[in-house]
Amino acid sequence: MLKSFNWKNIAFLLAATLLLILLAQWSGYFKKADKGDIVIGLAWPVGSRNHMLKEGVELAVDEINGQGGINGRKIRLVVKDDEDTVTGGVTVAQSLIKIPDLVAVIGHSASYVSIAASAIYEEAGIVMLSPSSTSPGLTQKGYQFIFRNIPSDAEIARQLVLYAARQGYRRMVICYSEDSYGLGLANAFEDHAKNEGIKVIDRISYYAGVEDLERIAEKWSALDYDSIFVAHDVPDGAIFIADAVKAGISVPFLAGDAMDTPQLWEVAGKAAEGTVVGSIFNPEDPRPETKDFIEKFSKKYNTPPTSYATQGYDAVRLLAAAIEESGSTDPKAIAAKLRTFKGKPGVAGSHTFTENGDDVGNLVVKKVVRNGQFQFID
């Protein structure tokens, strides 16, 4: 009996010791997870098409770290160049998700890169917050961890439709490019136009020249059109506007955010006068968030911020707020907290996230070309 009793006690002691060791290891793991740097990735074409977004991101990180970090922990930013290609984006995404303690990635730039990379972040359970990808397709897969803090093409189209309706436009033409941006924007515009009682009488993606456009314009006139929406990038969209005016077309033009560039009037010349563009970020916004950011950015970099710099800055601030308010660096908790943000103040405007990760806050601004310059429309 005594021998049997000793063996049972030894087995019990071994099991208890093993359990204590495991508990100590798990305790150390969780303590480690709650300490150290909070790692955020930046996946962006920093070497070719940075557009000062990296500077906006770094300004926000420096400010947060200078104020003691998030719940006492500093942000460590890991920057990788995705070269604005699908291959580069996928490669960068695969390398970022291997970094210990990574909680989120700000990126990517182009929608086709973000869409390809999003599946990698989703499977890895890492939050991706894109500051510039506008394709509706990015947030239509039911993903849990994928967000954008920029209006989608669909939201920009909706706001332009509302503007068109207020102007009394009722019979419109759409000129679009045969790519994901042009098709997505054109389709979204037509869908929202129906809801506002605006009829799209024709859509074109190609014309052979000014003479061909004259012939097409005669058909439009017979259908009693009153305005044209241009879902194009530059320079092609600007060339269309110039050719349209040469063809005798004199109705108002509306365009998407890809036309928010001085190239619009540099290419189209006087034909661009009066063109209304839906875009993001109004540097003349009197809100203190915007004014303070412009002052700080200009002081640090000796140049005014671009809209991309603004989006990058807001992306960091939104992620930091989600981590701080949730009290967790678990990407699931961060994603859940982002979805609760309704009217969250930012430099670019107020941010409101939907369940699918879209930002439908007060972010779209409208500009009109006057005397070869953009003027903001209230």
Distance, CA of 56 to CA of 146 (rounded, Å): 21
pLDDT of residue 171: 98
pLDDT of residue 181: 85
Q: Is the alpha carbon torsion for 25, 28, 33, 37 positive or negative?
A: negative
Q: Which of 133, 170, 173 is nearest to 152 (CA)?
A: 133
Average pLDDT over residues 324-331: 97
pLDDT of residue 66: 97
Position 3 pLDDT exceeds 50: no
pLDDT of residue 317: 98
Give the β-pairing of 102-106 and 199-204: unpaired
Q: Write out the chain in H/E/C secondary structure.
A: CHHHHHHHHHHHHHHHHHHHHHHHHHHHHHHHHCCCCEEEEEEECCCCCCCCHHHHHHHHHHHHHHCCCECCECEEEEEEECCCCHHHHHHHHHHHCCCCCEEEEECCCCHHHHHHHHHHHHHHCCEEEECCCCCHHHHCCCCCCEEECCCCHHHHHHHHHHHHHHCCCCEEEEEECCCHHHHHHHHHHHHHHHHCCCEEEEEECCCCCHHHHHHHHHHHHHCCCCEEEEECCCCHHHHHHHHHHHCCCCCCEEECHHHCCCHHHHHHHHHHCCCEEEEECCCCCCCHHHHHHHHHHHHHHCCCCCHHHHHHHHHHHHHHHHHHHHCCCCHHHHHHHHCCCCCEECCCCEECECCCCCECCCCEEEEEEECCEEEEEC
Distance, CA of 326 to CA of 200 (rounded, Å): 46
pLDDT of residue 28: 39
Q: What is the mean pLDDT of the chain?
A: 92
Position 32 pLDDT exceeds 50: no
pLDDT of residue 31: 37
As a dihedral over the C-alpha atoms of residue 270, residue 271, residue 275, residue 278, rounded to 10 degrees, the angle is: -100
pLDDT of residue 180: 78
CA distances from 3 to 7, 42, 322 (A): 7, 64, 60
pLDDT of residue 1: 39
Contact (CB, 8 A) for 320 and 314: no
DSSP lists the bridge partners of residue 81 as 44
Contact (CB, 8 A) for 134 and 257: yes
Average pLDDT over residues 322-350: 97
pLDDT of residue 19: 54
Tokens of 85: 């290609």
Position 12 pLDDT exceeds 70: no
DSSP lists the bridge partners of residue 174 as 203, 229
Question: So what's the architecture of 38-151+284-363 in CATH?
Answer: 3-Layer(aba) Sandwich (3.40)
Q: Which of 54, 82, 105 is nearest to 319 (CA)?
A: 105
Position 378 pLDDT exceeds 90: no
Average pLDDT over residues 120-138: 95
**Percent above pLDDT 90 for the chain:** 83
**Whole-structure pTM value:** 0.82
pLDDT, tens digit (0-9, with 9 covering 90-100), for 64-109: 999 999 999 999 999 999 999 999 999 999 999 999 999 999 999 9
Domain-wise residue ranges, the chain: 38-151+284-363, 154-282+366-377
b/e map 149-172, b = 16+ CB within 10 Å: bbbbbbbbbbbbbebbbeeebbbb
pLDDT of residue 35: 75
| Fold (CATH) for 154-282+366-377 | Rossmann fold (3.40.50)
pLDDT of residue 157: 96
Distance, CA of 96 to CA of 104 (rounded, Å): 9
Average pLDDT over residues 329-354: 97
Distance, CA of 258 to CA of 277 (rounded, Å): 9
pLDDT of residue 16: 54
Is it true that 38-151+284-363 and 154-282+366-377 share their CATH fold? yes
Contact (CB, 8 A) for 146 and 139: yes
pLDDT of residue 14: 55
**Quick one: pLDDT band at residue 179, thresholds 50, 70, 90?**
confident
Tokens of 53: 């977004």
Q: Over the Cα atoms of the chain, what is R_g?
A: 26
Contact (CB, 8 A) for 291 and 310: no
